[in-house]
Amino acid sequence: MWQLWPFCPIIDEVHEVIFVDGIHLGPNAVVLIAQTPDCVLGWYAARSENSRAWSALMSRIAPPALVVTDGGSGFARACKKVWPATRVQRCTFHAYCRIRQATTTRPKLEASRSLYALGRQLTHVQDIDGAQEWIGAYQAWCTRWKGFLEEKTRRPDGGWEYTHERLVRARNSLNKLISQGLLFTYLDPTLGLGLCC
């Protein structure tokens, strides 16, 4: 298969926004895709998502102003190397999916219900005021449930683990996206994009 897979053309036209994602075809095959809202710009077949594979794809495409990613393995490293001036936006739908994975779609715990409701709102944020409001509501959630999230349970081997591990992972993921400025990059007025990711 690898010998027959065609290389994508070199794209020297600069696009404002490029969306990237990996489509897994099996345990040892992934096709990395770069596209605009209108067309596919390039692809790269690899055994796994890693920085070398992402670099191979990205090096054939002119750097955009903004790239939207699901946060796949190796992308951040490749982006810093190949497109160092490009701003990065984490796909808000993928951020929501991370929350949904932690809470399920029918959460039983009040903390989970509250976080799930915030996650559903995340994909509807369309301006800076909405982003600030969402971050404020999220920070209020973190404050309210801080003690709850710090609860630990003893494992059978004698070690400790977070009682609400999935919620802790979702919180940590959101904290990282917010602190790195990756959650609402698309709203930055200096980019002049006016789109919702």
Are residues 67 and 106 part of one domain? no
pTM of the model as a whole: 0.86
Does the pLDDT of residue 120 top 70, yes or no?
yes
Tokens of 109: 């715990």
Say yes or no: 109 and 181 in one domain.
yes
CB 77 within 8 A of CB 69: no
Report d(CA 39, CA 18) in Å as an integer: 10
- Phi and psi at 30, nearest 5°, equal -140, 140
* Residue 111 near residue 164 (C-beta atoms within 8 A): yes
CA–CA separation, 75 and 126 (whole Å): 25
Quick one: pLDDT at residue 4?
A: 59
| Domain identity same for 133 and 150 | yes
Token duo for residue 196: 């919702």
Tell me the average pLDDT of the chain.
92
| Any domain includes 28 | yes
Q: Which domain holds residue 155?
A: 95-187
Asked if residue 110 and residue 170 are part of one domain, the reply reads: yes
Q: Is residue 3 part of a domain?
A: no
**121's tokens:** 């709102």
Q: Are residues 65 and 119 in the same domain?
A: no
Model confidence pLDDT, tens digit, residues 67-108: 999 988 899 999 999 999 999 999 999 999 999 999 999 999
What is the total count of domains within the chain?
A: 2
**Residue pair 62/39 in contact by the 8 Å Cβ criterion:** no
User: Per the domain annotation, does 11 fall within a domain?
Assistant: no
Q: What span, in angstroms and rounded, lies between the C-alpha atoms of 112 and 48?
A: 33
pLDDT, one tens digit per residue, over 17-38 is: 999 999 999 889 999 999 999 9
Whether residue 183 sits in one domain with residue 118: yes
Asked whether the beta carbons of 29 and 45 are under 8 A apart, the reply is yes
Which pLDDT score is estimated for 195? 52
Examine residue 134 and state whether it is found in any structural domain, yes or no: yes
Q: Examine the domain organization and report whether 53 and 125 are in the same domain.
A: no
**What b/e string do you get for 149-186 counting C-beta neighbours within 10 Å, with b at 16 or more?**
beeeeeeeeeeeeeebeebbebbebbeebbeeebbbbb
Residue positions counted in the chain: 197
The rounded distance, in Å, linking the Cα atoms of 57 and 44 is 6
Same domain, 115 and 161: yes
